[in-house]
Amino acid sequence: MQALLIASAFGILLFLASAAALALEPPTQGAGVWHLSLVVLAALNAASGFMVLGGVAACDEELWSVVTGCAAAGVASAILATIAAMHLAAILELELAPRAARQVVMLALASGIIALIIAAKLGQPPVD
């Protein structure tokens, strides 16, 4: 359930950041600095996925095959979510003023950091 909530939050954040990046840099201009924010957000998504799936606990127990599986699942889900968010944002073409689009990107990145902190708390093994 926790992994689903974190994944849903990142899906929404990726969509909003994608829409804002497209508003700031139309596809005819090519990718620029605002599209790089999606890379940062995708990295936060992958890291939180790794933590929520149990990668941190597996590292503590030195279960390296589980660590590799958690890392691969986190990265794969982040890549797929980013591609889906960009595609959906390109189809819907949300109209955002440049100032609002910049604020959306910054809020999405800040929210991604908060979600990563929550994922780190959820991924910690219980203390006895």
**What is the total count of domains within the chain?**
1
Structural domain contains residue 58: yes
Residue of 44, 51, 24, 15 lying closest to 109 (CA atoms) = 44
Are the C-beta atoms of 90 and 27 separated by less than 8 Å?
yes
| Host domain of residue 47 | 2-107+114-123
Contacts of 104 (CB under 8 A, 6+ apart): 16, 17, 19, 20, 96
What tens-digit pLDDT sequence spans the chain (128 residues)? 777 888 899 899 999 999 999 888 876 666 778 888 889 999 999 988 888 888 777 777 888 888 888 889 889 989 999 999 999 998 998 888 999 999 999 999 999 999 999 888 887 766 66
- The answer to whether position 16 is within a domain reads yes
128 lies in some domain: no
- Residue 33 located in a structural domain: yes
Reported as a single tens digit per residue, the pLDDT across 27-46 is 666 677 888 888 999 999 99
